[in-house]
Amino acid sequence: MNLDTLNPAQREAVEKTEGPVLILAGAGSGKTRVLTTRIAHLMEDKNVQAANILAITFTNKAATEMRERVEETITELDTKDMWITTFHSCCVRILRKGINRIGYNRSFVIYDSSDQVTLVKDCLKELNLSDKVFEPKSVISTISGAKDKLLSPAQFKQLYRDDVRNSKIADIYALYQDRLKRNSALDFDDLIYKTVELFKEDPETLEFYRSRFKYIMVDEYQDTSKAQYELIKMLARQHQNICVVGDDDQSIYGWRGADIRNILEFEKDYDDVHVVKLEQNYRSTQIILDAANTVISNNIERKRKKLWSEKKDGELIKIQLATDELDEAEFIADTISRLKRRDRRKFSDFAVLYRANAQARPVEDALNRSQIPYNIYGGTKFYERKEIKDLIAYLRVIQNPQDDISLKRIINVPRRGIGLRTIEKVEDRASLKQESLYSVLIDIESNSDISSKARKSISDFVDLMGTLRTIKEVYPVSKLIEKVLDTSGYIDELQKDSKKEESEDRIENLKEFISVALEFEQNSEEKDLETFLTTVALTSEASDDEEDDKVSLMTIHTSKGLEFPVVFLTGMEEKLFPISRAITSMRDSDIEEERRLCYVGITRAKEELYMTLTQKRTLYGKTNPSIASRFMEELPGECIERLNKAENELSYSKANYNILDKYTKKYMNNVQKSSIAKKVNATVKDTTKETNIDDIKPGSKVHHPKFGVGTVVMMKGTDVTIAFDNQGLKTINKEYTTLDLL
């Protein structure tokens, strides 16, 4: 087949088919094209049989696209026996054929999340454990984490033998697995976990698949977990023709089990690894790439690479310092309108990216006011989110108890033990008496058709709503909302939810609704609840048209793999980006993952990039002074243009330094130290030469960006042991960072 259309690095990645290969594919470097061409090359030019190829990716969409592109490239060859699949689909196929070898029925069913909850509740009942203390979803999350680390119930028990709570969860885990097996069922985590178990316990099955899959390719390798890593390592051991493709600089899913060490240490797992770096970017201008390269170079744990583009011209990155989040949102809406007119762009050319979901709400309001159509990509519009609809329903019932629709929405939210059958009985009685549901609820003690337990729950609910209706006359709307969230138990239930990231997002959205109320109180002449609900209804009213020409709003996590001509990267402030929990954890790895996320955000832009930050921000119902993100400080000055000529200092928040918390103060101190360090480094680098890592030898004097000056004392492969003047003896991988030869 013709490979002349590939650039030299892409062609090298395609043609190097034998032995272990690590393809470091930078953002926008055409990795999907390389993978599909590599598969086609194996079949068409190397005469490899389709059945001998396994290609694994993370989503069904990516797997389908890859298969279709391969089939379009080699139309004359039969590809039906080739496995282009996801991890889970691959494992299902293996288990359907061989899981009976470890005592399971091959016709197993796969339990979804609701099935898991039911099963855990049964286990808790059998073990005489409270589902209040051991909340089922939380237990499931812990079990899932254990399986992802390939820990059996016995191993988990041993690991936490001195931890009372986790020791009990180990007992639940053991019974849960026993019940799954008895029911001929697996959960989704079992699909990989049990495949690894099958391979370990049945060498014959492992040998069959090792022999079959002579060529293995794994996409997005930086996102693999321990279980996925172990599965691939077991399959590849015989032929060693393992090709992994990924970008350590885009490893942003550590919070859900991805282990960046899998890609960073690939060369330790296999002998004579051939490394190919795809550094030519086909997406962005060089100015955007220079900014991305400079920011990500501040990470220590990474493979060295530098993106470049043939698009040498381009717009400078525009930085807008706004007064607050409302000013920021108005700037975004105004700029979209202006650029659409000036450059005849489509709305779909624009994307607004943010670190936290709650940041979208002011932007949505500004776009609505400007009649700019938009989509929440991979999410739900703020006022359409379940938690926001629930909260609005509470407020509607407080304002108008006769609102049966809103009442039915919240009567058992959070769960109060008021089931559907009870609600149906209340509706029947209301219909018979031609009264509202609330009227029937007030007189619930006279309804003998309803159990005493349900009557008690209903009475408690009526008392709650009565109290809230009383205080609405004296509380401002923002305080009333806080009271609803506190007394209803809504926040408490979310905090117990096992899906930590999702629950935190929902809690943040609810707190952001307090910001909506604060804005209303500040800007509206009438400040009562009725006016507020009317304002919200008018603001949240959205167009129902089906046009695709809309601005995209999404989190930076969601944006990975996408690209847009014009990107707004918003909220570039400490404690927002990087997120507060990454700062307070005090772990370098958490900040490095946030910096990788920033790199992903920057490289979504093809032509123009706007970065916005504020002097103060009201978020989750609290107003705080802002401080510029450390990532802003890392941008190269020659790549940026500050739009606020009168406010060209990014250190605007130093005036508020005395009220910032200790972690932010620590960062400010580090910034000051870093400016001194940069001067020192500049002096050091003036005396250095352009270093080829192969020039470094024992006895060489080198400079490391974090540890300073040292002397190389030993080398083994890519590992270098250095005696640093001020940091002692350290062993590092010279591929991970820049070592300047002095």
Query: In this structure, what token pair is assigned to residue 689?
Result: 């030469």
Separation of alpha carbons 579 and 294, rounded Å: 20
Per DSSP bridges, beta strands 83-86 and 109-110 are: unpaired
Q: Is 177 assigned a catalytic role? A: no
Q: Any idea which residue has 């010279």 for tokens?
A: 734
Q: Which of 157, 596, 604, 630 is catalytic?
A: 604
Query: Are the CB atoms for 23 and 13 separated by under 8 Å?
Result: yes
Closest CA to 239 of 66, 54, 96, 89: 54
Residue 387 annotated in active site: no
The pair of three-digit structure tokens given for residue 488, joined into one six-digit string:
């209803």
Token pair belonging to 644: 């606020």
Q: DSSP assignment of 533-546, as one string? A: HHHHHHHH------
Residues near 75 by beta carbon (within 8 Å), at least 6 away in sequence: none
250 is catalytic: yes
- Distance of alpha carbon 307 from the chain centroid: 23
What percent of the residues of the chain are helix, what percent strand, and what percent coil, each to the nearest 5? 55, 15, 30
Q: Report whether 254 belongs to an annotated binding site.
A: no
Q: Strand ranges (DSSP E) for 171-254?
A: 185-186, 215-218, 242-246
Tell me whether residue 30 is annotated as binding: yes
219 is catalytic: yes
Which one from 187, 189, 220, 301 is the annotated catalytic residue?
220
User: Which segments of 32-102 are extended strands (E)?
Assistant: 53-57, 83-86
H/E stretch holding 574: none
- Among residues 37, 85, 222, 250, the one annotated as catalytic is 250
Name 86's bridge partners.
Answer: 57
Residue 569 is which amino acid?
L
Annotated active-site residue in 31, 168, 409, 575: 31
Tokens 């609900």 belong to residue = 533
Q: Which of 12, 15, 16, 32 is catalytic?
A: 32
Cβ pair 618, 509 in contact under 8 A: no
Full DSSP string of 679-738: HHHHHHHHT--PPPGGG--TT-EEEETTTEEEEEEEEETTEEEEEETTTEEEEEETTTS-
Q: β-pairing, 83-86 with 53-57? A: parallel
User: 605-614 and 374-376 as β-strands: parallel, antiparallel, unpaired?
Assistant: unpaired
Does residue 573 sit in helix, strand or coil? strand
Written in H, E and C, the secondary structure of 376-413 is ECCCCCHHHCHHHHHHHHHHHHHHCCCCHHHHHHHCCC
DSSP 220: S
Q: Is 379 labelled as part of a ligand binding site?
A: no
**Which pair of tokens denotes residue 315?**
């717009």
Q: Which of 135, 219, 290, 592 is catalytic?
A: 219
* Cβ atoms of residues 432 and 418 within 8 Å: no
723 is in an annotated binding site: no
Q: What is the dihedral of CA 165, 169, 171, 172, to 10 degrees?
A: 140
The token duo for 616 is 């103060």
Look at residues 104, 131, 102, 133 and name the one whose alpha carbon lies nearest to residue 118.
131
Measured between alpha carbons, how far is residue 659 from residues 487, 580, 655, 664 in Å? 31, 16, 9, 10
* Beta bridge mates, 351: 552, 567
Sorted by sequence, the CB contacts under 8 Å of residue 565 that are 6+ apart come out as: 345, 349, 350, 605, 606, 607, 608
**Would the annotation count 28 as a binding residue?**
yes
Cα separation, 138 vs 646, whole angstroms: 51
Binding residues: 25-32
Q: Any idea which residues carry the catalytic annotation? A: 31-32, 219-220, 250, 604
Binding residues for ATP: 25-32
